[in-house]
Chain A
Amino acid sequence: MARTSRQDFEALVRRAGVTLSEAQLATIHEGWSYVEPMLDRIRTHGRDRAAEPAHVFRPEIYVTETK
């Protein structure tokens, strides 16, 4: 069972701008219960504030591209 309540889950879906049937809400809410532990894994690592993401912006690529 998802940690996020059905009411809160419906709010998330409304924010996404998608209209779902009751049956769709129920099955996707069930699926969300498997996503929540994944979010816990990426959110809680006590990482350094300065730890950068894997994706970096490299401005020289775009200079090369426009040559």
Chain B
Amino acid sequence: MHTPTIAEAAALIAARKISPVELTQTCLDRIAALNDTLHAFIVVTPERALEQARAAEVRMMKGEGRGRLDGIPIAHKDIYQTRGIATTAHSKMLKGWVPETDAVTVRSLAEAGTVMLGKLATHEFAFGGPSFDLPWPPARNPWNPDHFTSGSSSGTGAAVAAGLILGGTGSDTGGSIRGPAALCGIAGIKPTYGLCPRTGILPLAYSLDHAGPMAWTVEDCALLLQDMAGFDPSDPGSIDRPVPDFTARLGQSVKGLRIGVPRHWHETDSPVADSVQKGIDDALAIWQAQGAEIVEVVLPSLFEYQAANFVILTSEAWALHEPFMRTRFNDYGELLRDRMIMGSLMSSADYVQALRRRRELCQLTAAATRDIDILVTAGAPSEAPRIDDMPKWTNLKNPGFTNPFNITGWPAMCVCSGYGAGGLPVAIQIAAKPFQEPLLFQVADAFEKATPHRARRPELATAPASVSKGLADAGLSLSPADMAGVAEVARELAAGAAAMRDRLGYAQEPAAAFHLPMGG
């Protein structure tokens, strides 16, 4: 079975052409075959998943389906609390902790009928990574397992791209949904600050944390967000306002929209690879041809947003982790502890100055975009680097394209805009003003539908699910690179076998036949 999108799967389930149990089992088979290579899952919960899938199937048969997410296999980043299932934050600090309650968003997605397959890898406490000194290895990029997924929602990015799940949850404090979406070639949205409840999600930095969905397409993100969004009285950042229909504007024309491009971000502040620039240029050409107006805008430098984001993030994160940092510093992974300690070395005045700067940046961004509907820039500066070639202080040296929208709280999403010289995906980032998610989805969907990028999956993901298992059963242990090669060959062999099978009639005999009498 090829991996359907959530929208496709929902239609197939509704038409009873596929059962939630069959779909779930297919995903579980893929996880069994590929997770040893990708490390996308920290824990898989097959019994629970199949039980939920059977319940969804019963609802379908009775005509009591709960909507388009009913029976859809998903998984949660392992900072989302799950009742009765360990929630680790990918850290030794929480190993073995089993929450007694679900995160609000875990509960709402379960009530929508989703089937939870397990918990997904993250950078430790959604901050430090890729780390090789934690109890679980870091997730690897399905397009090439020698390469980085970005983070911190690294497991979700890898699992969606490889077709292990149809969608999943992430969190984003400086770009942790949009980064892995960009490098893994999927779609991921950081919604407006306060749109999605955060109760039950382990915090990193209270005033910058956002929850949001990740999936293969823009439409799938809209479907997931529909059941994640809503007012949460126990989350002080939550906004009490009606949740709109996030799919309402999909397919509508972008004619007349004004799309702003802060070119200095991706051309001067942090120059991007040619393939990334091409993706931006392609998007602008597509929207312009559809009737949108492209406008250049000048915004504060990326370095300004980065500085405010880093000081606020590390100050708040340090306050949260301080008691444990002081007594168990070396029980955290090296990357997390060496970055987070920076928050302890700043002064209280630095934190307040960063908050004052944040207000100025919000005002400057709003003023510069008064006549703009949408902003477009890069999702990441290049395709994914090798996972073993990540200099420790890269994030501090180079400003991220995602920070501005954590600082402003504006909704922003990354979508695949093509492939780089190394064959890995690149992405554009599209942002809208607060609570304009329907418009954001409309514009992103218009780009996505006008390009061929969604037709291509990682070759690893299109290989027969039995390949890895067969190798393991044969006692063979291959490197990720060798595994990718074998999977590619196996996929071609499987396609050839299927073609032969289709050509043969029922009664056609093999070339070699049993023949009596025996010679001799």
A-B contact sample (16 more), CB < 8 A, given A16-B344, A31-B396, A51-B356: A12-B345, A13-B341, A16-B341, A16-B345, A24-B338, A28-B342, A30-B393, A31-B338, A31-B392, A31-B393, A39-B350, A41-B303, A42-B308, A43-B349, A51-B360, A54-B358
Residues of B within 8 A of A19 (CB): 329
Residues of A within 8 A of B396 (CB): 31, 34-35, 38
Q: Which of B207, B326, B357, B397 contacts A18 (CB 8 A)?
A: B326
Which partner residue on chain B sits nearest A29 by CB separation?
Answer: B345
Q: Which of A15, A32, A53 contacts B358 (CB 8 A)?
A: A53
Residues of A near any B CB (own CB < 8 A): 9, 12-13, 15-20, 24, 27-28, 30-32, 34-35, 37-39, 41-43, 45, 47, 51-55, 61, 64-65
Q: Is B493 an interface residue (CB 8 A)?
A: no
Residues of B within 8 A of A65 (CB): 233
Query: Contact: B353 with A43, CB < 8 Å?
Result: yes
Q: Is the interface of A mostly helix, strand, loop or mixed?
A: helix
Q: Which of B311, B338, B352 contacts A53 (CB 8 A)?
A: B352
Q: Is B441 an interface residue (CB 8 A)?
A: no
Q: Which of A9, A34, A37, A54 contacts B362 (CB 8 A)?
A: A54
Which partner residue on chain A sits nearest B350 by CB separation?
Answer: A39
Bound CA span A62–B304, Å: 33
Minimal beta-carbon separation of B478 from chain A (angstroms): 34
Residues of B within 8 A of A24 (CB): 338
Bound CA span A51–B354, Å: 12
Q: Which of B311, B325, B355 contacts A55 (CB 8 A)?
A: B355
Residues of B near any A CB (own CB < 8 A): 207, 233, 236, 303-304, 306-308, 310-311, 322, 325-326, 329, 338-339, 341-342, 344-346, 349-350, 352-360, 362, 392-393, 396-397
Bound CA span A37–B303, Å: 10
Which partner residue on chain B sits nearest A65 by CB separation?
Answer: B233
Bound CA span A38–B354, Å: 10
Most buried by A among B236, B341, B397: B341
Query: Contact: B207 with A43, CB < 8 Å?
Result: no
Bound CA span A12–B342, Å: 10
Q: Which of A9, A16, A53 contacts B355 (CB 8 A)?
A: A53
Bound CA span A52–B396, Å: 27
Known: A13-B345, A45-B360, A52-B356. A34 touches B397 (CB 8 A): yes
Bound CA span A34–B325, Å: 22
Query: Contact: A53 with B307, CB < 8 Å?
Result: no
Residues of A within 8 A of B349 (CB): 43
Bound CA span A35–B396, Å: 7
Query: Contact: B329 with A42, CB < 8 Å?
Result: no
Q: Which of B233, B236, B329, B357 contacts A41 (CB 8 A)?
A: B357
Bound CA span A47–B364, Å: 14
Query: Contact: B304 with A41, CB < 8 Å?
Result: yes
Most buried by A among B207, B307, B349, B350: B307
Residues of B within 8 A of A27 (CB): 338, 392
25 contacts between A and B (CB under 8 A): A9-B345, A12-B344, A13-B341, A16-B344, A17-B322, A18-B341, A27-B392, A31-B338, A31-B396, A34-B393, A35-B396, A37-B303, A38-B396, A39-B307, A41-B307, A42-B350, A42-B353, A42-B357, A43-B350, A47-B356, A51-B359, A52-B356, A54-B356, A54-B359, A64-B233
Which partner residue on chain A sits nearest B314 by CB separation?
Answer: A35
Known: A32-B342, A38-B310, A38-B311. A53 touches B356 (CB 8 A): yes
Bound CA span A62–B463, Å: 54
Residues of B within 8 A of A41 (CB): 303-304, 307-308, 357
Query: Contact: A47 with B360, CB < 8 Å?
Result: yes
Query: Contact: B329 with A18, CB < 8 Å?
Result: yes
